Amino acid sequence: MKTYLLPEYIVERDPARCIRCKVCVNQCTYDTHYYDAEDDVICSKDENCVNCQRCVTFCPTHAITIRKNPNAYRENSNWTWETVRDIKRQAESSGVLLTGMGCDKPYFTYWDRLLLNASQVTNPSIDPLREPMEIRTYLGAKPDALEMELENGDVVLKTQLTPQLCLETPIMFSAMSYGAIS
């Protein structure tokens, strides 16, 4: 299918260095390079190049250089050229663009900078003298669900619980060997 998008990258091949070994043709998974047997020359389809640099790495004579295309859309404060390109790609393919290994755009990553203040997690008591803070915690495996049954009008726990370690203060220090101190 013909595309009207400007190629993002330009593949430059030095004809004096190229020995037409076809390594670039065989290594490129995007079909950027092809061999023209009639003219005995290797050509490139710039619109297929994604700048993975595989052809550059495997070229035995280092005849290939990939450059960013200097032809760009007119600058606009509302739309970047990436946005215009993405809209045109979606219009040509009639589908939503997806990325597989994360986003390549410089969006802010909130999860890398997440900081929780302890006061945000628990509600502190308003009056600590008359309203004690409950900080006891239990360590150990917990069941997914609890089963109850009625015996003589009382609710009895039917689920067997694993042993739980009760900590009055949720701070635990591991034992240190004498060798670790010296």
Number of structural domains found in the chain: 1
Average pLDDT over residues 77-86: 85
- Amino acid identity for residue 69 in this structure: N
- Is the pLDDT assigned to residue 69 strictly greater than 60? yes
Q: Burial-class residue 21 by CB neighbours within 10 Å (0-12, 13-18, 19+).
A: middle
Q: How far apart are CA 143 and CA 156, in angstroms?
A: 16
pLDDT tens, position by position, 34-56 = 999 999 999 999 999 999 999 99
CATH, residue 55 = 3.30.70.20
Whole-number average pLDDT of the chain: 84
Q: Is residue 36 included in any domain, yes or no?
A: yes
Residue 20 has a pLDDT of 95
Residue 81 has a pLDDT of 83
Q: Is residue 159 included in any domain, yes or no?
A: no
Q: What is the torsion angle, in degrees rounded to the nearest 10, for the CA atoms of residue 124, residue 126, residue 128 and residue 134? A: -40
Q: Is residue 48 included in any domain, yes or no?
A: yes
**Domain span holding position 65:** 9-93
Q: Is residue 76 included in any domain, yes or no?
A: yes
Residue 1 has a pLDDT of 67
* pTM: predicted TM-score of the whole model, two decimal places: 0.52
More confident residue, 80 or 154: 154
pLDDT tens, position by position, 120-175 = 555 556 666 666 777 888 889 999 899 999 999 999 999 999 999 998 887 766 67
Q: How far apart are CA 56 and CA 80, in angstroms?
A: 29
Q: Is residue 169 included in any domain, yes or no?
A: no
- Is the pLDDT assigned to residue 106 strictly greater than 80? no
Residue 39 has a pLDDT of 94
Residue 56: other Cβ atoms inside 10 A: 16
Q: Is residue 73 included in any domain, yes or no?
A: yes
Q: Is residue 117 included in any domain, yes or no?
A: no
